[in-house]
Amino acid sequence: MRIRLDVVSPGKKVKIIMVEGGVRCRQCLAEMGVYPGEMLKVIRSAPFAGPILVEANGYRFILGRGMAAKVIVEEMD
């Protein structure tokens, strides 16, 4: 099922299907390794609709809700 990355609950692994948003947003995300086909793991989310902490390929980064909402993913088992 395709969902947006900002609603994925912590601990879940996801596969990136598509990155929406403008060229700049796509490029910023690409620099962090957010490409279609790649896997991500959501580690935790900050309260008060704060950002999420994501793990990709051995490193972690913080992703604001707004940006996370632009990443379409599929949950893996």
Residues that bind other proteins (CB under 8 A): 19, 23-33, 35-37, 43-51, 53, 57-67
Of 12 and 65, which has the nearer Cβ to other proteins? 65
Nearer to other proteins, 9 or 66 (CB): 66
Which of 33/75 has CB closer to other proteins?
A: 33
Query: Which residue matches tokens 């060229």?
Result: 23
CB of 13 to other proteins, least distance (A): 16
The span from the CA of 62 to the CA of 77, in Å, is 23
Q: Which two tokens stand for residue 3?
A: 């969902």
Adjacent-strand bridge partners of 3? 73
Residue 51: both structure tokens together: 């950002």
Closest distance of CB 31 from other proteins, Å? 4
CB of 3 to other proteins, least distance (A): 19
